[in-house]
Amino acid sequence: MEKRARITSKGQITVPRDIRRVLGVQSGDSLIFHADENGVRVKPARITSPFKKYRGIGNTGIPSGRKAINSWLRKMRGE
C-alpha cells in the first residue's frame, strides 16, 4: 500500500485513513518513527497493552495465579 501525505509549514502531516487503520491508531494516539539505512519505519506507540481490556473476562470461578489455577484443576480432576 502506498499513500501520500503533505507536510504543513508547521511540520505536521495527516496520516491517511487506510494507514491509520493498518496501524490501529486513532485521534490522539502517538506514532514512533524509526530511521535506519533501509529507510523510515512508522509504528504505533503503545502505552498499555491492547489486550488489557480483555483481562479478567475469562471463566468466572477460576482464580488467578499459578498456584490457584493448579489447585482449581486438581479439584476439577478429583485429586
Mean pLDDT (whole number) for 12-34 = 92
Beta bridge partners of 41: 34
The string of DSSP codes covering 17-64 is: HHHHHHHT--TT--EEEEEETTEEEEEE--SS-TTGGGTT-S-TT--S
5 touches 16 (CB < 8 A): yes
pLDDT at 78 over 90: no
- Rounded CA gap, 33 and 35, in Å? 7
Q: What percent of the chain has pLDDT over 70?
A: 95
- Which of 17-21, 43-47, 52-56 is predicted least confidently? 52-56
Ordered by start, the domain boundaries in the chain are 1-47
Longest dimension (CA), the chain: 71
CATH class of 1-47: mainly beta
Mean pLDDT of 28-54: 87
Q: Which pLDDT belongs to residue 57?
A: 72
